[in-house]
Amino acid sequence: MTTPRHLAGLCGLPQTLSALAVVAVASIAPVVAAEMEAAARQPQPKSEAVTPRTAPELAPELSRRLTPEQRRLYLAWRESRSAFERQYRAYWSKVEAKRDVRKARRLLGQDFTAEDYVATHPPKYQGPELPADIARIVTTAKPPPPEKPLPTIADFVANAKKQFGFVPKRATEQEFKQSYAREALRVGLTKDQVVRVYALETGGQGTYDMQSGINPVTKQGKPISSALGYAQLLHANSTGELVKHGEAIARRLTAMAAAPGTLAARTAELKAKAAILSKMLRAARSVPDEWSAHQRFAMTPAGLGIHALNLDADVGPWIQVLKLKGLKDSAATYGHPNLSGAEIELMNLAGPTTGLEMMTPLGRKMPTANFFSEGGYTRNGVVQNKTAAELLAALESRMEAQLQKPGSIEFAQIFDQVARQ
């Protein structure tokens, strides 16, 4: 099952000014649409001669607030923007159609050809910009609806307790990194692979309870996705990994509880955690084992609660490492046994199947828009206007820079210490 990240945001921060521009246009787009709809509902004066109009009239409220010159500029911008949006929509429709063709070819065991991809990057708006004073008037005339806040760590923890009676066991950063490193080495991942993914996903300074959009040092910001931890798993990823590995994790907790020399309190804690995890697993398996179903389930109280497993000192390192191991195993199945950190990250971002497609000789030459959803593409500047090969190079470059940050250095040192034990 493919579980694409859809580019929630590397290091939890906007990557380019172009991304901010997209956000700005998106914020005014519903206002413009509503204004055009309101204008369309207005009764038109009767006339013996019908004069064609190149653009709909303004809604009365907005028209009253704009000067004649502002109205002229706004209508010119709106007409240009509408033409661009039609071109933009046509581009992404073509991308989706080509993607469907490749899916069909994959099912039939057929090789892809260059004709199965869109060979150009998305079109860019080249028309007049909307002056800031007019944009403010348009927005105040009919403010856009408020954004629905994304769930936070507090929501994950609260739902875990309410739905399952689960409270994550906390740890220091050093303790969590030690457990993470031990688990990674146990399943065959290398220090270079894991630390490079950490460096890129968290900016080289992330904490195990870091949520995308929140600065791990200052704790300022607001969530831009549900991504948590060193590998930045989405809540739907947590559901998927629990479905795959929940039974084995519960057995492992039970075995740890039965190990000779385990203190009574720790034994009781591990047994209780195993029982809770089994309850979570039953909830996760109540929906079909597919990405879209996991996405929907992840936004329910039970799904939000399951995501809190990433914060647990026992289970958190396991579930995140198993996600990375799954990517490595998937690549090995298709003849790529030795992945670089950038290649693992590419599979983590785009999904295993798509990431591998991007690594093929043909896929490397193609624009990245072929491999991501429109929303994922526009939200993250690092993928924009690149080929797959250029994206891999960009990820590698960012990793090199973030490896010099304190968190990455500490993680690498802990890996070395654990390996010597």
Q: Are residues 103 and 226 in the same domain?
A: no
Q: Are residues 312 and 178 in the same domain?
A: yes
Q: How many whole angstroms from its chain centre is CA 338? A: 25
Q: Please identify every stretch of the chain with a pLDDT value under 70, giving residue numbers as ranges.
A: 1-56
Distances (CA, A) of 378 to 81, 159, 340, 369: 17, 31, 26, 9
Instruction: Decide if 257 is inside a domain.
Output: no
Q: Of 353, 329, 349, nearest to 391 (Cα)? A: 349
Q: Are residues 312 and 281 in the same domain?
A: yes
CA atoms within 13 A on the CB side of 43: 3
pLDDT at 61: 86
pLDDT at 337: 86
Under 8 Å between Cβ of 287 and 139: no
pLDDT at 4: 52
Q: Of 399, 401, 400, 405, nearest to 197 (Cα)? A: 399
Q: Are residues 375 and 290 in the same domain?
A: yes
Q: Are residues 68 and 208 in the same domain?
A: no
Q: What is the CA radius of gyration of the chain?
A: 25
Instruction: Decide if 253 is inside a domain.
Output: no
Q: Are residues 136 and 172 in the same domain?
A: no
pLDDT at 56: 59
Please calculate the CA angle 329-336-339 and round it to the nearest 5 degrees: 80
Sign of the CA dihedral running 227, 233, 237, 239: negative
- With a CB cutoff of 8 Å and minimum separation 6, the contacts of 178 are 414, 417, 418
Three-state secondary-structure class, residue 208? coil
Q: Are residues 339 and 380 in the same domain?
A: yes
Instruction: Decide if 289 is inside a domain.
Output: yes
Instruction: Decide if 364 is inside a domain.
Output: yes
Q: Which domain holds residue 390?
A: 149-244+276-420
Q: Of 263, 302, 326, 351, nearest to 3 (Cα)? A: 351
Under 8 Å between Cβ of 39 and 56: yes
Q: Are residues 338 and 406 in the same domain?
A: yes
Q: Are residues 232 and 109 in the same domain?
A: no
End-of-domain residue from the set 119, 141, 163: 141
Instruction: Decide if 118 is inside a domain.
Output: yes
Instruction: Decide if 87 is inside a domain.
Output: yes
End-of-domain residue from the set 141, 172, 191: 141
Instruction: Decide if 76 is inside a domain.
Output: yes
Tally of structural domains, the chain: 2
Q: Are residues 74 and 165 in the same domain?
A: no
Map tokens 């065991």 to a residue: 109
* Amino acid found at 322: L
Q: Are residues 156 and 121 in the same domain?
A: no
Query: Which residues make beta-bridge pairs with 211?
Result: 228
Would you state the structure tokens that stand for residue 78, as one six-digit string?
């709106």
Q: Are residues 238 and 312 in the same domain?
A: yes
End-of-domain residue from the set 115, 141, 167: 141
Tell me how far apart the alpha carbons of residues 254 and 234 are, in angstroms, rounded to a whole number.
Answer: 27
pLDDT at 152: 97
Instruction: Decide if 2 is inside a domain.
Output: no
